Chain A
Amino acid sequence: SYELTQPPSVSVSPGQTARITCSGDALPKQYAYWYQQKPGQAPVLVIYKDSERPSGIPERFSGSSSGTTVTLTISGVQAEDEADYYCQSADSSGTVVVFGGGTKLTVL
Chain B
Amino acid sequence: QVQLVQSGAEVKKPGASVKVSCKASGYTFTSYYMHWVRQAPGQGLEWMGIINPSGGSTSYAQKFQGRVTMTRDTSTSTVYMELSSLRSEDTAVYYCASLGRDSSDLGDYWGQGTLVTVSS
Which chain A residues in 39-63 approach chain B with CB under 8 Å? 42-45, 48-49, 54
Interface residues in A, total, Cβ within 8 A: 27
- Bin chain B's interface residue count: 20 to 34
Query: CB < 8 Å: which of A33, A84, A101 contacts B105?
Result: A33
Secondary structure at chain A's binding surface: helix, strand, loop or mixed?
Answer: strand
A86 near B35 (CB under 8 angstroms)?
no
Number of A-B contacts (CB under 8 A): 58
Query: Closest residue to A56 on the B side, CB-wise?
Result: B108
With a cutoff of 8 Å between Cβ atoms, the chain A residues found around residue B103 in the complex are 94-95
Query: Closest residue to A91 on the B side, CB-wise?
Result: B104
Report the separation of the CA atoms of residues A97 and B50 in the bound assembly, to the nearest whole angstrom.
9
Residues of A within 8 A of B (CB): 1, 30-31, 33, 35, 37, 42-45, 48-49, 54, 84, 86, 88-90, 94-102
Residues of B within 8 A of A (CB): 35, 37, 44-47, 50, 59, 61-62, 95, 101, 103-108, 110-113
